[in-house]
Structure 1
Amino acid sequence: MPKIRHKSTNKAQFSFGTLSKIEALMSQGHSMISAAKAMNTPFSSLQKRLKKNNSSEPRLGRLPVFAAVVEKVLSDRIKYLSSIFYGVTAIQIRKAAYQYAEELKISHNFDKSAKMAGRDWLDGFLKRNSISVRKPKATSINRITTFSKEEVQLFYRLLVDLMNKYKFAPNNIYNRDETGISTVQVPGKILSPKGMKRVGSITSWERRKNITLLCGMSAVGGFVPPMFIFLRKGMTLQLEKDIPAGTIYKCSDNGWINEHLFFEWLQHFAMYTKPSSQAPVLLILDNHASHTSLMMYDFCKQNNTHMLSLPPHTSHRMQPLDFTFFGPLKAIYK
């Protein structure tokens, strides 16, 4: 583990603001010694700074291996690679730092046997350059290449046109999405006796299966009772035990949504939202194939429901339910 060094000295307490005040006192006729005493600043430190015109923040300890300019080149490269979904690991940076120092013939105290910088250097480098260690989310190439400024601007232009034309009330603007929930929860850490060989935690099922959950939520927080889709041929009353009011349960051969089940959910949605010509409803959803059919179009047209599709492969950045509801739901469920 890196060493944690607590500061045990009163040195380097002054700041750039203190130096500015000292210079102001000296411009008023005070000597350097009297100005240093007035601001409780060591005279020798002040003399060195004024002589070298050094206005940087004071610091303790030895200087970093790399100069600030060299570190900036390295940190800019790290940030750029992260922005294009090719981020580097801490080990890779430590090895790169060692190679960098060797090629530039910079004196260093890195581990020559492992040929990489130490963890102390890495911690200091990250702190100095506003970089943190993060766990990335797996993102497909389709999502990376399709998510573009033009696609997003087109979506918002269509949204503005619909809002101007139909004047949707906030409680009539809905986002709809589905997600898969595993039947086997991931248990967290628990307390158990030392030396105990087997430590278990109860889960719903023995083998992992996904259950699809369909939700619809309005801009003001109102929601339509959800739909659950199970991977099975037929329903059983046991699955509907203790269900929330209004929830509907369906089955499919693969446990996912299909055109028939989406139409059933759309009827369920219309029953709860009660759209009318005076209060039309806007439904924002992804562009899954099950959502685009003549049957859906006719139903929405007859029931004053207007559907707006998110651009393809952009739901990971633009789907409200993913960020505000499904994420916290899965975290609590686990």
Structure 2
Amino acid sequence: MPRIHKRKLGSRKYHDYTQETLERALNSLRRGRPIRQVAEEFGISKSTLSRHRRGQQTGKIGRPCVFTEAQENVIVDCIALAGEWGFPLVPYDIRLIVKSYLDRQGKSERRFKANLPGIEWLRAFLKRHSNTLTQKLCQNVKRARASVTREVILDYFTELSVSLEHVDPAMIINYDETNMTDDPKRQNVIVRRGCRHPQRIVDSTKSSVSVMFSATATGHLLPPYIVYKSEHLYNTWTENGPKGAVYNRSKNGWFNMELFEDWFIVIVLPYFQKFEKELPKVMIGDNLASHVSPRVIELCQANRIRFILLPPNSTGVCQPLDVAYFKPLKHHWSKVLSNWKMKHRGTLPKDTFHRLLNSCLQDMDEDIIKKKRSIWF
């Protein structure tokens, strides 16, 4: 357990008094008593009393905080807004947000290990902002209770219709990430009657590439955001891919806070900035804590962008991309990957993935989302 330091009076020669004692001493000075007598009576130095009487000593004792008051308020707003959006943050999430904030500012804080604050800093931070933030125990919900019911879905769409009122469909974006696997899946084949377990020789692995797709309520598909599992990104992995696609990488191949922030700035924000800044804009997606960062919240507030989160465990019903796009996408991907596997051996290389994805997207019906616009309304 981290220590919680509480200083005892008498442990140091300066500031060895309480605030109450200081106020009593200053009241004695205001009544005209000599400063030497007051200093001896209350155990406070004459210079300290003199500065407080003139109002010159207003700073805090000890080492300054890592962030200024304005910077900490930005982090507080981020935490509070995340709770209002429906996914309150755990302590480790807050520490990651602080690390992301420092990394984006290009700062290296020596008191933190790799810019990740410790538990003691978090406790002191929560204490400084106890009037805004509080830490509470979260009740675990059983699977039976968490199951999606008809009432939950109806309530969601009722609230969604109210939230989307007076919002232009062109300014409603649905986003979701999916994995494009290196497995062409099973296919229907013709074999001799009586064969119970037909097999075909095809190399397949469990490896995958994460891709973030996003589309508007008018049926316009935004460029995909492709994330490879790697520590480096090479030019051969990005050439001749889908039109306008953006590429990145992470150690585990998953989306994290930094990647979501980059996707938001590079893909979503340029699209929304084509419209007037005062018009309301909406983003519909999953309630993941990794989708929150101080930078994203600042940009949302500056551009009138609001998040609407799907009910938990309802992606297969309420997620427009899942309902209208991902099923035909995975079907076409399986066909494209199968054709490639028939001519090549081994795992699908990264310098080929984006070309196959481009071929897959070109084979799909461009109007497939427009044909299913009813899922939005």
User: Given the two structures, how large is their TM-score scaled by the length of structure 2?
Assistant: 0.45
Structure number with higher relative contact order (C-alpha < 8 Å, ≥ 6 residues apart): 2
TM-score (norm 1): 0.50
Larger Rg: 1
